[in-house]
Amino acid sequence: MQVKARIIAQEVNNQTRLEMYRQRLDLYSQCNKQMSAIEFPVLVDRCLPLPSRIRHQLSS
């Protein structure tokens, strides 16, 4: 029973994460339309706060 509860909790967690990514992607595409003139790393930085090491790779 406890294992089943854990699996359900995991699925809920995955759904929440998926929803969060979907919203973020939505935000990103809106942002992209507004700021297509700005170069890509700046755009990514503005729209999606990324971990700094990824941001560093993009800008180098």
Supply the pTM of this predicted model.
Answer: 0.39
pLDDT at position 25 = 83
pLDDT above 60: residue 21: yes
23 neighbors 34 (Cβ within 8 angstroms): no
For residues 11 and 45, which has the higher predicted lDDT (pLDDT)? 11
Distance CA 43, CA 3 (A): 43
25 neighbors 44 (Cβ within 8 angstroms): no
Sequence-separated (6 or more) residues with CB below 8 Å from residue 24: 48
Average pLDDT on 23-36 reads: 74
